[in-house]
Structure 1
């Protein structure tokens, strides 16, 4: 994990440094720069790191990370970890609910499609998954936004809390209400891959010898699937579920922009467009840690589900 994080940090820092965005023109403006004295421009260039070699900036940044210092956000003028914690408090409702929704619904649809293989239910679920797999998340977000906030004003048009309400007055119901449409968008786009992989695995299980023997004993239907197939389905399900963390986080970048949801995704876009390298690198590193932690959690759960892995580990 340490080597992977180091590689992610290096590649991300090089890509950000190659960006053609001029931080002075983006954040100050060409007109304002034209009216400034050379001394003021030099101070701004020093603040944004213009002219400093890439290797020196990377070394300063990585040495600070090793000491637990993620730096100061150039846009927010606050510690990077403080900004990330604030944005993550809004995104946690969105990402967690979308992750659970896509996993539960995707697994159920995959099992249903395999159980009704070749019938109208299977064709309907498979068609939905194929269409959603090729649908951009931001386009689906725009459709839901127009449908449920403009045509049918059921949900708020954006933000994570009601406008004008004090922070101590915001309830859990308010946060869930504002996060419903963004979470629904992420959940709907994440269902397709889980459902299709689950369908193929269940079909493989239903064609196995032990299921054929169970059919010969008179077992059938959902009882057959849940009694003999569910345990064998858990390993690929765990892999898909924890592997979808990166997809959901990546999709949240565009979805939060559409819904003006002030979370980590929108902060990443703001940092990228504003050349806020410390904040952007901090979000990149934290998201990489979450993905790696999800994969590690999946490996740990394997040993709880499959006793053969525990025996192999002791051997």
Structure 2
């Protein structure tokens, strides 16, 4: 059994390393084909520099080297723990990622919790009343959200609640002109509600739809029919016999949705000018900041891989059938 576990962990590690390498290689290749001039983005489009100064800047940042050599040097630096310096922020890449990730974690954490809870609740309500107006309304609403771009949802919420009603700030994560030590929890919450709501609406639709389908299957199962025949109420039978089967797809989807969550945060942060990791990735791509972009690619890939691994682990722990299959395989 110990050998089986070691092989499983080794396989996970090899898959993670190969995924990180492939993601960085693809990102480097695409950015190398970009028409963006990193030197011009570094000095600013309105600043005029001589050809000699351009060559000196390119040599300082290693931009005068062939792409293959540049990628090899970057890879060797990463192996030594050096992620380089951001051309855009003039700071170490790890410092920028750490600062921006804390802001994004605050945003994505709130959105992740609410999308799971609301999606599970809507899915139970729709599946319990199959064919009713509630079911049709919730299903139509979720299908509409699934086909709506995240940035468009954010723009609509911004227009209604920030511009027309004035209930929330238009953007940013803290009030303008306020020192960090003077920012209150209320200030942070008021700035994060709209982008978090945007991500929640985008993430709750798949959870609700899958929960609805699973609940309808559970209601038709033999053990639920037997429970009702014994006189158990619908909610009592669901709580005793169906919640575990109902929780499995919802929990798995929640942790497997880390990729959609991070991708949605990139768009939401752009709409609300929220200074998170997604906005930093956009700025790095638009300004040719290769060290920062590759660092964010590494970090986001690891973030998504961890979410998928947690989903696999929870599936193994919640579903006894998978555990029996694993033991049978051993």
TM value normalised by structure 2:
0.90
Asked if residue 78 in structure 1 is aligned to residue 116 in structure 2, the reply is: no
Asked if residue 260 in structure 1 is aligned to residue 273 in structure 2, the reply is: yes
The answer for the alignment partner of 1:7 in structure 2 is 22
User: Which secondary structure does the structure 1 equivalent of 2:47 belong to?
Assistant: helix
Q: 5 Å matches for 1:1-315?
A: 1-28=16-43, 32-33=47-48, 36-314=49-327, 315=330
* Contact 1:114 1:202 (C-alpha < 8 Å) held by counterparts: yes
Q: Distance in 2 between matches of 1:187 and 1:68?
A: 35
> After the TM superposition, which of the residue ranges 14-23 and 218-227 deviates more from structure 2?
218-227
Distance 1:30 1:155, change over 3 A: closer
Deviation at 1:178?
A: 0.9
Q: Distance in 1 between matches of 2:73 and 2:274?
A: 32
Distance 1:125 1:30, change over 3 A: closer
Aligned length: 313
Deviation at 1:42?
A: 0.7
Q: Deviations over 1:263-288 (max 9, x none)?
A: 11111111010000110111111011
* Contact 2:228 2:234 (C-alpha < 8 Å) held by counterparts: no
Gaps of 5+ in 1: none
* Contact 2:253 2:311 (C-alpha < 8 Å) held by counterparts: no
TM value normalised by structure 1:
0.94
Q: Distance in 2 between matches of 1:304 and 1:37?
A: 63
Q: Distance in 1 between matches of 2:63 and 2:74?
A: 15
User: Which secondary structure does the structure 1 equivalent of 2:257 belong to?
Assistant: helix
The answer for the alignment partner of 2:4 in structure 1 is none
Deviation at 1:313?
A: 4.2
Q: Deviations over 1:230-257 (max 9, x none)?
A: 1112221222001111111101111111
* Contact 1:75 1:276 (C-alpha < 8 Å) held by counterparts: yes
Q: Distance in 1 between matches of 2:206 and 2:275?
A: 27
Q: Distance in 1 between matches of 2:268 and 2:119?
A: 20
Deviation at 1:215?
A: 1.9
Q: Deviations over 1:49-91 (max 9, x none)?
A: 4442111111111111111111110111111000011111211
Distance 1:27 1:79, change over 3 A: closer
